Structure 1
Amino acid sequence: MSIFGLPRTTMYWNQNTRVDMVANVMSRDRWEEIMSNLHCVDNGQQLAQNNSNRDKLIKIKPFNDDLKRKFQSIPKEQQLCVDEQIVPFKGLCSLKQYNQKKPRIVNDFEVYCGNIEPAVGLPVIGASSNIVLRLVECIPKKKTKTFCFSLTIGFFFSLPLFTILADMGICALGAIRTNRWPGLQVRLGAEMEKAGRGSTIEKATDVDGVEVRVIQWYDN
């Protein structure tokens, strides 16, 4: 159904829009009966809608938790990436976000529900960096220098995150936002343009015993 993406499920059985790969599996009435009775949790155990402690994912929590465990059991490649992932959806939902063209292969995930808790036992370094620390919990730590995990990070990157990951034995690489790196001086765009396409500047320093390198280059 997700491949063909018809606007209404009944259309998979309709004579003019029938999809045999769906309609031949079960009858339309059987499909509707299953969908009307499919529940993951007991609705009577849910907190009230106006309760601040209500879990927005409570209706799918058993499924969500099991899916996370399955993803985490997948063997991990040495080079990993942290990024947003958007599931196409146009219905009514308080969790909806708008962001285009995101990857769809995962080792772990968290559904954004409007608040990001800090990682257990680690410093609070802002929501966008806290989520990275929560996601790397499934990565083996303190590998040798010849084999360490390399993490590519975009929007979430910050200097405190960089040093914490280094202490865990995880190398990190990412495009930075200069306002998140205090004390960093970079050339203005006009200066880089004058130096010509392909020109680069590299700076290095030590932050809490961690070597940090920043490279600025002029592209197109």
Structure 2
Amino acid sequence: MLMDRDIDLEEVGSPDMFADIDDETPLSSDEDCQNSPPFSSRDMESEEMSDKNLAFTAETPSGLTASTAPWQWLTDPNFKAHVIDFDDTRSGWRLPFSGTEMELFLKLFTNEIQHEVVTQTNAFADQTGDCCTRRWSSWQELNEQELLKFLAVRMLMGVNRLPEMKQYWSKDPLLQYPIISKIMKQDRYFEILKYLHFSDNTRPSGSKLQKIGTIWDLCMNNFQKTLRAHKNLSIDESLMLYKGRLSFKQYIPSKRSRFGIKIFSIVDEATGFLLNSMIYVGKDNQILPDIKTFGYGGAIVLKLLEPYLNKFYHLYCDNYFTSPVLAKYLLEKQTYICGTLRKNRKHTDPPPARGPNKMKPGEVIIKSCQGVMTEYWRDKKVVAMISTCHDHSMESLPQRYGGGEIIKPRTVLDYNKFARGIDYSDMMKKYYNIRRKSMKWYRTLFFYLVDLCIFNSFVIYKSFHVGTKAKFLGFRLNLIRQIIGSIQPVQITATISPTDQQNRLRLSLSLKTKKNS
């Protein structure tokens, strides 16, 4: 889903990501996941299909109130959705936010997160301290203030990018960047980067996200505690660039990054605030027990939407996630959905794509069943929509080019308006991001998480400074200034155990002896 286009073409994807797509119908790949065999073949095994017949008498999944009702679609141009009004008076920020850019950032990147990073980094430095290196012999323990200084340096590197990190401390007049050397010395920066860690290696959990899971969960909890969501929500996927070795690395040729870690997110459309994110680590039935019933996309929706069920929210998502079964289930949970629909999804009745009965340009076919409406509108191609929160209506709007008018369904207009939160956040995070190429995937995810905190704090800042034209670059620069200004230059004292102190002293003496000899 792109920021600069409306829905004029069908969005289709690879069939092996869903349990409720008919195997007999071929699919073209547009924006959905195609995993690379060398690293994800076990994740992309085709799922068994319980029913390959497209007759509309199949039963809905067990657990729904209409579990025995067949899906019999009827032409219904006068469809009326039964929607209960959402109480938007309870939406808004949970805490009184005011203050500087740094104060807003620290409400999301809290002292608890900083303490966890500092604790695990120092522990990891001690665990790997048996290596005879000069850098380890001079290691001093990290503290929260120095961690913020380290992040401020990374933010500056994102604003002014150089080919290599060492060049920021270069004395070459063409590359010289004196402010960074005043904030932190080169050796100290690379020491922190080397030992930066986020989990206890002595307590293996067996989870694929063990290296980053604790920090990630703390941050997502802070996001959800910050905002009571408004009426419209959207769910979509992102791909964080990473080309190293990783079992759950994904290959999506339609994305700019192509290789990376796939992340599913839910966004509040009124503010653009990212509420929660979930990292894709493969098809795990323990994490997502509803995969067999709703497909992988539907199970992701239910996982991210869990805190918002039975509250009359309106969800917008693309055809990666939608299905009639999911729409019916959410309707029974007093939650409404609107999005594009795959024409070969189970329990649908699409019009013929070929032959004399195929749809003509401008033609609209409306069908309904069990409170779910599907619309098929022919523009350049057939656009399929599914909704439980819209009546069927057509609206005219001026064409982008040519000066004429075009008539579109209301569902298409609302989808184009309310399903772009992830695209906007991805676009903003791409500017001045603090990530660098790394062999360690969990460090890349940590810096991605810091970028998320910066973006969300910028969203909060804009909501409380409506009259001003706040720019993302200006926000980041002010944040860097405040972090640097709030930290006084103090002498860092290391707390090292007697055993480690003797080992480091012995190592330092041996290195001096080798140098003199």
TM category (shorter chain) comes to 0.7 to 0.9
Which position in structure 2 is the counterpart of 1:106? 274
CA change 1:125–1:10 in 2 (3 A) is same
Which position in structure 1 is the counterpart of 2:376? 216
CA change 1:190–1:63 in 2 (3 A) is farther
Rounded to whole Å, the distance in 2 between the matches of 1:219 and 1:163 is 27
Rounded to whole Å, the distance in 1 between the matches of 2:179 and 2:230 is 34
TM-score (norm 2): 0.36
Contact 1:192 1:199 in 2 (8 A): no
1:62 aligns with 2:220: no
Q: Per-residue CA shift, 1:113-155, capped at 9, x if unaligned? A: 112435579984222211111010132x323xxxx31111211
Q: CA deviation at 1:42?
A: 1.7
TM-score (norm 1): 0.78
Q: CA deviation at 1:195?
A: 2.3
1:96 aligns with 2:260: no
- When you count helix as a share of all residues, which structure comes out higher? 2
Contact 1:152 1:172 in 2 (8 A): yes
Rounded to whole Å, the distance in 2 between the matches of 1:64 and 1:189 is 49
1:182 aligns with 2:351: no
DSSP-derived class of the 1:68 partner: helix
1:203 aligns with 2:372: no
The runs of 5 or more residues in structure 2 that have no matched partner are 1-156, 257-262, 268-272, 381-517
DSSP-derived class of the 2:304 partner: helix
Which position in structure 1 is the counterpart of 2:117? none
1:64-79 alignment, distance < 5 Å: 64-75=216-227, 76-79=229-232
Query: What count of residue pairs does the alignment treat as equivalent?
Result: 204
Q: Per-residue CA shift, 1:167-212, capped at 9, x if unaligned? A: 121100111112223251324266687622x221111121xxxx01
The runs of 5 or more residues in structure 1 that have no matched partner are 48-53
Which position in structure 1 is the counterpart of 2:294? 125
The structure with higher relative contact order (CA 8 Å, sep 6+) is: 2
CA change 1:93–1:166 in 2 (3 A) is same
Contact 2:366 2:375 in 1 (8 A): yes
Q: Which moved more, 1:59-68 or 1:21-30?
A: 21-30
Q: Which moved more, 1:29-38 or 1:179-188?
A: 179-188
Rounded to whole Å, the distance in 2 between the matches of 1:14 and 1:191 is 71
Rounded to whole Å, the distance in 2 between the matches of 1:2 and 1:110 is 25
DSSP-derived class of the 1:87 partner: strand
Q: Which amino acid aligns with 2:274?
A: V
Contact 1:149 1:171 in 2 (8 A): yes
Q: CA deviation at 1:110?
A: 0.8
Rounded to whole Å, the distance in 1 between the matches of 2:204 and 2:324 is 40
Q: Which amino acid aligns with 2:170?
A: N
